[in-house]
């Protein structure tokens, strides 16, 4: 089960409305996910990012050669794949590597989202539901 098939994160994201405006956007993103991130080795994840190794689970990108993925040039593809199939560790690294506007743009342009993932992204990244598209495959 990945992060987005569970219903608990969406329930917990109702906390977004209660976040203090004094927090910066990075802290606002991590606040609702704090309880999930405490179960992963964040130091190991951040070390992976610092060493410039491919930070995400290799099984997410089974269909491509990982050496050919440029995290900046292929950002939309990477963001979509992590959001739709990633684990908590992958989502943590996604939030560390990409800015909120980059993720929001990728989510808005995505045609790969299922209904639960679209709902999660709408709530978590503060994107109006009308701007998040659910793939016709999942309807």
Q: Would the pTM of this model clear 0.75, i.e. be above it?
A: no
- Domain-embedded: residue 1: no
The answer to whether the beta carbons of residues 55 and 49 sit under 8 Å apart is yes
- Domain-embedded: residue 83: yes
First to last CA, the chain: 20
- Domain-embedded: residue 3: no
- Domain-embedded: residue 41: yes
Domain carrying residue 42: 8-138
- Domain-embedded: residue 2: no
User: How far is the C-alpha of 77 from the C-alpha of 67, rounded, in Å?
Assistant: 15
- Domain-embedded: residue 63: yes
Tens of pLDDT, residues 72-118: 999 999 999 999 999 988 998 999 999 999 999 999 999 989 999 99
What is the number of structural domains in the chain? 1
- Domain-embedded: residue 38: yes
pLDDT of residue 45: 81
Residue 15 has pLDDT above 80, yes or no: no
- DSSP bridge pairs for 134: 113
- Domain-embedded: residue 91: yes
């Amino acid at each position: 089960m990945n992060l987005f098939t569970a219903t608990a994160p969406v329930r917990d994201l109702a906390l977004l409305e209660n976040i203090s405006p004094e927090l910066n956007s990075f802290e606002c993103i991590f606040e609702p996910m704090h309880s999930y991130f405490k179960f992963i080795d964040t130091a190991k994840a951040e070390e992976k990012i610092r060493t410039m190794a491919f930070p995400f689970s290799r099984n997410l990108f089974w269909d491509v050669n990982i050496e050919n993925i440029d995290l900046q040039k292929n950002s939309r593809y990477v963001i979509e794949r992590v959001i739709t199939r990633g684990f908590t560790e992958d989502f943590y690294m996604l939030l560390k590597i990409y800015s909120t506007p980059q993720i929001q743009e990728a989510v808005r342009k995505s045609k790969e989202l299922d209904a639960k993932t679209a709902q999660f992204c709408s709530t978590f990244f503060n994107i109006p539901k009308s701007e998040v598209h659910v793939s016709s495959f999942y309807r």
